[in-house]
Amino acid sequence: MDALYLSAPVKLKRHENTIQVIRDDGEKIRFPVESLKHVVASHDVRFNGSLLNLLNKHEVRVTVLDYYGHVTCTVEPAGQPTSGAVHLKQAEAILDPARRLSIAQSMICAGLRSVAANLRYHAYRGQEKVKPAIAEIDEYIKRIKDVEDVSSIMGWEGQARLSYYSAWEHISPALTLRKRTRRPPTDRVNCLLSFLNGLVYALCLNEIRKSQLDPTLSFVHSPQQVRFSLSLDLAEIFKPILADRLLFALVNRGELQDRHFDEKPGTCLLSDAGRKLVLAAFSKRIDGEQQAGQTYRQRVLEEVFGLQAGILGVRAYHPFVQRV
């Protein structure tokens, strides 16, 4: 078990050389720390210095999400410096406008190809009304290849996503997304999307930490705006695959009910039961399901090492694209 997902308020303690999870009802569960690399908490979590010492010794990081699914805090193990050679090469690639633009284009185009693949999956199954959106996304991909600066990439990417979201209602009325809202999400689809995107971001950061890449130096997002901006870059590639497709599955299978949401005027959040259900489904998707003999967690890590190899000039970098 690479990651431990916590969906309810808990207290974490060190019990000998294990992590003890204590629920509010007093139930205690122990987990061997040797098998963990990442703890993700989507609710209130309390821990002390003794536990942090244990986590640091075994190089386990802790990520805390807020109610909207956004990462609010990451506790990193000490003593994990990046390679000086890799750091310099990564900085050189970002400071070279042409090279940064090329890598950013490849990342965003890969993500949008997976976005289009999500719609093609449903078009092949009779949802003819999604085809205009697919054509628009394909056109935006062509335009992104011709831009001369990174900021223009994000503009066309935003237009492509508007076309993408507008087609969701043709997959299912329950997937209707009229407007993307985040802080706070105003409806169930926005709520699920924000929460799942946060999980993808946390996953990408965790896998980057297994490499020599610096997570603060990025190509698409400004390195000066977000602390771990490289995680956002990689998340652009994997959100359509790990967040969007899981959202479609949960909604289309009817797994989400009223009790899974906490809805108030203008705000929709996942309830404790909702977070538990979504976290379990996400964990199964990234660590249980396989594609070509790999789990999706392994695929993300392979992407990280592929980017690192590209930066070092070992081989050309070609981002992952989901095929239909």
pLDDT digits (tens, 9 = 90+) for 14-65: 887 888 888 878 888 888 888 777 888 776 778 878 888 888 888 887 888 7
Which backbone phi and psi does 233 adopt, to 5 degrees?
-60, -50
Six-digit token pair at 98?
């042409």
pLDDT digits (tens, 9 = 90+) for 216-238: 899 988 776 667 889 999 999 99
pLDDT digits (tens, 9 = 90+) for 171-230: 999 998 888 877 788 889 999 999 999 999 989 998 998 888 988 899 988 776 667 889
- In the chain, the amino acid numbered 96 is D
Asked if residue 184 has a cis previous peptide bond (ω within 30° of 0), the answer is yes
Judged by phi (left if over 0) then psi (alpha if -120 to 50, else beta), residue 16 lies in left
- In the chain, the amino acid numbered 198 is G
Six-digit token pair at 302?
């392979």
Six-digit token pair at 142?
């062509």
**How far apart are the two ends of the chain, measured CA to CA in Å?**
29
Taking alpha carbons only, the member of 316, 324, 320 closest to residue 109 is 320
What the chain holds in terms of domains, given with CATH numbers, is: 3-75 (3.100.10.20), 84-312 (1.20.120.920)
